Structure 1
Amino acid sequence: MRFISRSGAMTAAVGTGLSLAVLPTGSASAAEDIHVGCNDIPGLVDAINQANTNGGRITLAPRCTYTLTTPDNPDDGLPEITGDVTISGNGSTIRRDPNATESFRIFHVVSGGTLTLKSLTVSGGLSGDSGGGALNEQGTLNLTNTAFKDNSAVTGGGVSNNGGQLNLDRTAVERNTAASFGGGVLNTGDGTATMKKGSLLKNRAVTSNGGGFENQVGTASLESVSVGGNTAIEGGGIRNVNGSTLNLKSTTLKDNIAVRGAGLSNLSTTFGNATATLVDSLVTHNTAITAGGGIDNQAGQVTLTNTKVIDNEPDNCAPEGSVPGCTNPTAAIDPPSAQGLQSDDDIKDPE
């Protein structure tokens, strides 16, 4: 017998198969807190399955490492997120075992699902497709005080957002690797990504573009984000391409490396014009092998408002004049030769 009370009234449900005409607030179907013991992987799997059904809040043991040795399904370490699931990590880590024989990402949010991660580190995910740490496919992925580190995939080494909503708040995306594009984060398929007060650091797109962040057919807004030490062929820090929209506010792009567009690559194609707006931001000390040390703007539109693009190598912006308000230093004048400075007659032994 289960008793559910509301406003002093009591309703009794006896036996099975009995339905109630009215279910009061706080019924058995409401979301409940589910606590999972340290490194209890079966318990974590069960908790996610329950939360998918009822909308659950999962709490992990503080500062514990949860190690996944085998996948839950062929592509994912944990069950797919189909409902409304929240996981509070309490400073814990969920990782793929470095010695695992199978490749799998950690999280996968499918269409209609919502996953919220708080105070959690996700690491070691390895996907032969997209999203080494997490793949969000037309769902919602919220990351708060979270870190995605040392994950790898073909695209979107850390996080891949395909047609969904991705929100990063005070979140670090570091040392992730994509074999192709989007070393840290990939936003594509008309997806929307927002990032505030976090970092994209030391991510790498090995054979392609968007070392820190690849915005490909999407809309992305970054505010108060540090984008540094990322590498790629084009867009070491960020690449914005194929009709995408990029908004940067109070954001720094520094110490990124690429063949072209070390800080930012903004590229328009037959798929549409790419537009990038930088407000109160700084692009500095980025290094390109050929051109566009700070910004490489290929037929797109880049707008700078109270933004500095300075001290990049070999130039600040390319092509010359493509970014209004961005200037390149004048060519350096070679110093005179030693012969021009003094003749042999001028050189005397010290007395």
Structure 2
Amino acid sequence: MRYTTLSGIAALATIVVNGVGAVPAVAGGSGIPVACDTTALTTAIATAPTGSTLVLARHCTYHLTSAYAGQDGLPPVDRQLTIEGQDATIVRDGATAAAFRIFHVTATGDLRLDCVTVRGGNAVDDGGGILVDSSGKLQLNKVTLDNNHANNNGGGVNVKPGATAYITRSEFTFNNAGNTGGGLQSDGTVTTDGVEFDRNLARSFGGAIDHDAGDSVHRNTTLKNNATGTEGGAIDIDGGTVQFIDSKIINNTTTGSDGGGIWNGASLTLTRTEVSGNVAGDANGAGGGIWNTGTLVLRDSSVERNSANGGGSSQGGGIYSAGGAVTLDHSRVNYNASTTAPGGVYTGTQFTVNQSEIRHNIPTNCDGSPVIVTGCVG
């Protein structure tokens, strides 16, 4: 068996972690223990043979005070590596440290993180907490991305085109991006299940998630209380395909013009998903719940209690469709509001409607829209 490491050492060499010898992890083994010491963590990541499992000290906080190299706080992961966090925290000490991200997964890397918090990363470009290069692989389970920042894209995590990320039972909180994707820049193949994005911020697009390429499936995922300055308070979609299944997109905000909850310019399908309490707050805001110019399909889903409440000609508190194709299948667009009519649905093209309803919106359901959706009254 051939092993590849960052430093090129032989795989069968003993790894010394904080002065204690440890043999490489083997199938069925318990992994390589890493003492509660930052140097020990850096050494372990740099020298662990491919396929190793590092076991962090339980509840330890590993403080990064300087970059390992360039913008990377820890050695880049260029091979398969698992880190069992045991509720440890890896944090950049923001008061004294220069700007650097925490983890960097290269094109040949395959990083698996479990039960760990990644906090305080600060990238001068992309991926404040974690950057995944094209062809790289990332798995997160019970991981918290908290208070990370990227000057450009992906405050918490940036998944480049061609990369893969599988994220389960994790949280993205208080991350921010100077441009897009406050929590996650999702441009590869991304799957989430049981993930919560809460109080993330992007100055331009996608407070929680910005998706420009690739295919994403989000199950049992909640995007709440996120914000952006331009479009897509929760998510901005410019390319590829996105699905939300059994999910919630609630109480997100854009202070810009379009899409308090969702801005869709590609292909989006919502299945058994709630879009509620979102706000487009600009004076000429549109689409409190959803702004669409792509392909939008709602199945057994609801768009309710959203608003476009700016002081000017804000319209389409529920859905504002500027083009593309929209299908409502056993879905509801109810109790939404806007400053000017219609409060429910504004569209220039007819929707495909199957046993769905548009009711109780103010000031009107559809009146004032260039095209009245089939079956919509008032």
Deviation at 1:320, TM superposition (A): 7.6
**1:279 and 2:271 equivalent?**
yes
Q: Displacement of 1:174 after TM fit?
A: 0.8
Q: CA deviation at 1:319?
A: 2.6
1:82-138 C-alpha deviation (Å, 9 max, x unpaired): 111111111110000122341100000001210000000000000001000000002
Query: 1:221 corresponds to which residue?
Result: 217
Report what 1:48 is aligned to.
45
Q: 1:201 and 2:198 equivalent? A: yes
Match of 1:64 among 60, 64, 73: 60
Give me the CA root mean square deviation: 1.9
SS at match of 1:129: coil
CA contact (8 A) 1:89 1:119 kept: yes
Distance 1:44 1:320 in 2: 51
1:324 counterpart = 2:327:
yes
| Structure 1 segment 111-190 matched on structure 2, within 5 A | 111-137=107-133, 138-153=135-150, 154-162=152-160, 163-188=162-187
One-letter amino acid of the structure 2 residue matched with residue 73 of structure 1: A
Partner of residue 305 from structure 1, selected from 275, 281, 299? 299
1:265-276 aligned at under 5 Å gives the runs 265-267=263-265, 274-276=266-268
2:213 alignment partner, SS class: strand
> Are the aligned partners of 1:229 and 1:255 in contact in 2 as well (CA < 8 Å)?
yes
Residues 306 and 80 from structure 1, CA distance in 2 versus in 1: closer, same or farther, beyond 3 angstroms? Answer: same
Do residues 36 (structure 1) and 28 (structure 2) align? no
TM-score, structure 1 as length reference? 0.80
Q: Percent identity?
A: 34
Taking the aligned partners of 2:199 and 2:50, their CA distance within structure 1 comes to: 38
- 1:124 touches 1:152 (CA, 8 Å); kept in 2? yes
**Pairwise CA distance, 1:323:** 3.3
Greater Rg by CA: 1
Opposite residue 34 of structure 1, the aligned amino acid is I
The TM-score normalised by the length of structure 2 is 0.75
1:254 matches 2:253: no
Give distance in 2, aligned partners of 1:103 and 1:173.
Answer: 20
For 2:77, what is the secondary structure of its paired residue?
Answer: coil
Counterpart check, 1:231 vs 2:233: no
Moved segments of 4+, more than 2 Å: 28-32, 319-327, 329-333
